[in-house]
């Protein structure tokens, strides 16, 4: 079980580094999100490929804020064709096309999740949101991103265009555990990205409560008391989060 233990050890190291080095950036994200929600706005979250798992995690589930708007794009999901998704992730103009149909308003927040931060879709999403007065939070790996060249014509990577940058401590190429053959295996950033964003949103909920504002948090659908509460939240945000209408 050597490699299993190594993987857990790497995760523990990364989480400790995040907590000690990224607190200021996370506090900045919390502040921007609290102000956004306090003023009636929503928090948008976007990712491509496996980063969409992070988007899925923080949307419409027990213990999460109802004011999170997921910017899903089915063409970017690996299960709809990994080759197709990779091509579109690199296609300049596709990120702007996705955001063109979204209701993003000045003063709101967009979290863009991209470990390498090099592909056009992530860079364009950030640029397009900033042009509309939205605060962009990048959830990325700085070591990874700084080791590669941008695939966007601006020559910039996600961390170079975002307002707030949170480093998930991921390693270049994602795989964190070296095997006897020399191959590396074991992606870490789904775990760390989810932990970071969950922690931020919990803090946002806590700050709202401290200000006397009831945080719009979903309850588990398997509690006897949850149905009416959750339906009220769906109705409250259905004009801003289109998926709540279905």
For residue 147, the number of C-alpha atoms closer than 13 Å in the C-beta half-sphere is 12
In Å, how far are 48, 91, 98, 108, 194 from 217, measured between CA atoms?
26, 36, 27, 18, 17
C-alpha radius of gyration, the chain, whole number: 18
Q: With contact defined as beta carbons under 8 Å apart, do 104 and 131 qualify?
A: no
Tokens of 66: 């109802």
Can you give the pLDDT of all 246 residues of the chain as single tens digits?
A: 899 999 999 999 999 999 999 999 999 999 999 999 999 999 999 998 888 899 999 999 999 999 999 999 888 877 777 887 788 788 799 889 999 989 999 999 999 999 999 999 999 999 999 999 999 999 999 999 999 999 999 999 999 999 999 999 999 988 889 999 989 998 999 999 999 999 999 999 999 999 999 999 999 888 776 688 999 999 999 999 999 987
Q: What is the pTM of this model?
A: 0.94
């Amino acid at each position: 079980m050597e490699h299993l233990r190594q993987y857990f050890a790497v995760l523990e190291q990364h989480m400790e580094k995040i907590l000690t080095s990224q607190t200021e950036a996370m506090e900045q994200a919390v502040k921007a999100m609290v102000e956004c929600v306090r003023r009636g706005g929503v928090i948008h979250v976007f990712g491509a490929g496996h980063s969409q798992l992070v988007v899925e995690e923080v949307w419409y589930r027990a213990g999460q804020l109802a004011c999170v708007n997921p910017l899903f794009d089915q063409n970017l999901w690996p299960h709809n064709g990994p080759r197709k998704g990779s091509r579109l992730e690199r296609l300049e103009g596709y990120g702007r096309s996705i955001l063109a149909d979204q209701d993003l308003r000045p003063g709101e927040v967009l979290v863009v999740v991209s470990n390498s931060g090099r592909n056009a879709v992530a860079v364009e999403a950030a640029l397009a949101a900033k042009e509309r007065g939205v605060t962009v939070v990048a959830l990325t790996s700085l070591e990874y991103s700084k080791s590669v060249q941008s695939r966007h014509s601006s020559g910039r990577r996600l961390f170079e265009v975002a307002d707030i940058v949170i480093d998930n401590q991921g390693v270049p190429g994602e795989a964190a555990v070296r095997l006897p053959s020399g191959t590396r295996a074991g992606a870490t950033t789904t775990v760390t990205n989810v932990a970071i964003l969950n922690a931020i949103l919990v803090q946002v909920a806590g700050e709202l409560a401290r200000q006397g504002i009831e945080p719009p948090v979903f309850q588990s659908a398997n509690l006897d008391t949850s149905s009416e509460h959750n339906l009220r939240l769906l109705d409250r945000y259905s004009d801003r989060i289109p998926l709540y209408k279905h």
